[in-house]
Amino acid sequence: MTRIGVVTFPGSLDDRDALRAVRLAGAEPVALWHDDADLHGVDAVVLPGGFSYGDYLRCGAIARFSAAMGSIVDAARAGLPVLGICNGFQILCEAHLLPGALTRNQHLHFRNRDQVLRVEHTGTAWTNGYAQGQEILIPVKNGEGCYVADPRTLDELEAEGRVVFRYVGGNPNGSQRDIAGVRNAAGNVVGLMPHPEHAIEALTGPSVDGLGMFTSVLAHLGAPAAATAGAPDGR
């Protein structure tokens, strides 16, 4: 069975939800520990949301230098699929696996709401199960989710199809060009501020649209998704 690791840092909040999403998608969830450089043979890694190391200095700045991240950076450069959610996205930017940075929300408020995103690119390990331009509804909850990069980098991202998700129906944090998520050049590393792991079943989420990211990586790895996971719906 495909094994997907979820790293727990001191201050991670959504690691349990991410492990659950992995399981519902049909993979074997593997709990990884920030202080352990051993990735235990996982086929993909999720960096969950939360406040790693208390968000001290900058969000993700200290987590980047953890033992687990040292191994993940090397593995990601060799093609390991990595998904960074919220704080995980911040960590990926700090680790220079993704361009840009996440800064304080422009309006200074913590924003917590269900958010419509448009899937702008389906050629990644984590979005191949969506339709190009599909709109999905998943929760966003952050205080420092304003995506910034210099204009040249933004232009490159747009030109190379590396903007993976864009906010629709209102930008919750002031992110430049409404960018909610980006990918690396190879497409194995994706980061986004909203939380797909909170939209995986009707009981607890506003939709099941988030499950598509976890089933996409299974397809990418050539593994079957759980029968109960189904395909991401076309809402």
Conformational region of residue 180, where left means phi above 0, alpha means psi within -120 to 50, and beta covers everything else = alpha
Residues 38-57, interacting with another protein (CB under 8 A)? 57
The least CB distance from residue 50 to another protein, in Å, is: 19
Per-residue binder mask for another protein (CB under 8 A), 149-178, x = binder: xx-----------------------x----
Q: Does 105 bind another protein (CB under 8 A)?
A: yes
Residue of the chain from 41, 78, 108, 202 that contacts another protein (CB under 8 A):
108
Binds another protein by CB under 8 A, chosen from 75, 104, 177, 221: 104
- Is residue 92 close enough to count as binding another protein by CB under 8 A? no
DSSP helix/strand/coil, 12: strand
In degrees, to the nearest 5, what angle opens at C-alpha 232 toward C-alphas 212 and 32? 20
Bridge-based pairing of strands 28-33 and 3-8 is parallel
In this chain, which of 101, 168, 219, 226 binds another protein, going by CB under 8 A? Answer: 101
Ramachandran angles phi, psi of 214, nearest 5°: -80, -30
Q: Please tell me the number of Cα atoms within 13 Å of 89 on its side-chain side.
A: 28
Q: Is 94 in the site for another protein (CB under 8 A)?
A: yes
Q: Active-site residue 156, yes or no?
A: no
CA-wise closest residue to 119 among 172, 173, 163, 174: 163
Distance CA 146, CA 201 (A): 28
Q: Considering the rule CB under 8 A, would residue 148 count as an interface residue with another protein? A: yes
Residue 107 annotated among the catalytic residues of the structure:
no
Euclidean distance between CA atoms 14 and 72, whole angstroms:
19
Name the one range near another protein by CB under 8 A: 1-9, 32-40, 92-100, 200-208: 92-100
Residues forming the active site:
86, 195, 197
Binding site for another protein (CB under 8 A): 57-58, 61-62, 65, 93-94, 99-101, 103-108, 146, 148-150, 174
